[in-house]
Amino acid sequence: MKKALILLSLCTLANISLNAQKVIQLYQGKPKGSENWTWSEQTSSKNMFNSEVVYNVVQPSITAYLPSPQNANGTAIIVAPGGAFHTLSINSEGVDVAKWLNSKGIAAFVLKYRVARSFTDDPVRELMGKMGDFKKLDEENAPIIPLATADGQAAVKYVREHAKEMNINPERIGFMGFSAGGTLTMSVVYTATDETRPNFVAPIYAYENAILGSEVPKAKTPIFVAVAADDQLGFMPHSINIFKKWFDAKQPAELHIYEKGGHGFGMRKQGIPTDTWYERFGDWLKLQGLLP
């Protein structure tokens, strides 16, 4: 009897683990706008940063990380990793964020959105060769960003439509993103319909120049913004501009500018205050009534 109970417990834990990392395709068949893409999604950890990146995303998806039912508080956040719309920094700006959110009882959904095609098995090196000319990179990314934005809005729509079965309050669905993911976050909220608009947003070191749309929602939509002053790509003023626009629209807005941290600090540990930016995010969620 005791062995049977132990086996049952292990099976239950396995099922919880499987449910916590369910991959959900956002479209049936090939999504509109990329019907002719013939390449396939790849993952690489062989790069100058020794970090796992996803590239050549063709079939957008969200991976659900759900807290246990007894710990779920009804809040959900879609997490968009960065990577200049060429790659996705899937761990530090995706999975690791989702796991922290789970620890707070928040349902998290890591978004794999469509990105520009990479032609080698070292997409990070390939991308670095383009980072010196943002004007040219913006031109290359221009046809991709509307597709990624559609993917982000499809993710919001899916989570809202399936909220009840995942112990989520459909009026407490947020969207956060890092770097290009921050650009995507703002594009999603600016161009969304009521059906696809997140209830709150968190752009982290976003790139403002490539954001689609500019209309701040009339409905209450709190925003949390974070960036490092020593951002190597010069994105600190972009975060100030986003904050000011939200503030001027009389929307709830909070801005954190860290002296040091560089670009892409994500969930990395550097022994400096950016190591705990997400704790400040947690404080802000409590302020907004999104955490108990």
Q: Look at residue 51 in the predicted model and tell me its pLDDT.
A: 80
**Does residue 266 contact residue 97 with C-beta atoms inside 8 Å?**
yes
What's the whole-model pTM score?
0.92
Q: What is the pLDDT of residue 21?
A: 84
Provide the token pair at 148.
């990624």
Q: Which residues touch 182 (CB under 8 Å, ≥6 apart)?
A: 80, 82, 203, 204, 205, 206, 207
* Predicted local confidence at residue 8, as pLDDT: 37
pLDDT tens per residue, range 96-106: 999 999 999 99
Quick one: which of 59, 105, 63, 100 has its CA closest to 80?
A: 63
Give residue 4's pLDDT.
40
105: Cβ–Cβ under 8 A, 6 or more apart, which residues?
67, 71, 72, 73, 75, 291, 292
How far apart, in whole angstroms, are the C-alpha atoms of residue 158 and residue 261? 34
User: Domain 19-287, what architecture?
Assistant: 3-Layer(aba) Sandwich (3.40)
Q: How many residues does the chain have?
A: 292
Provide the pLDDT for residue 1. 44
What b/e sequence results for 40-70 when a residue is b if at least 16 CB atoms lie within 10 Å of its CB, and e otherwise?
A: ebeebeebeeebbbbbbbbbbbbbbbbbeee
Q: For 25-77, what is each residue's pLDDT tens digit?
A: 999 999 999 999 999 999 998 766 668 999 999 999 999 999 999 999 999 99
Identify which of 22, 49, 46 has the alpha carbon closest to the alpha carbon of residue 107: 22
Q: Which amino acid is at 44?
A: S
N- to C-terminal Cα separation, the chain: 39
**Per-block mean pLDDT, blocks of 10 residues, the chain (292 long):** 41 42 94 96 79 95 96 97 97 97 98 96 92 94 98 98 97 98 98 97 98 97 98 98 98 98 96 98 98 94
**Residue 49: per-residue pLDDT:** 64
Domain ranges in the chain?
19-287
User: CA torsion angle for 80, 164, 69, 20 (degrees, to 10)?
Assistant: -40
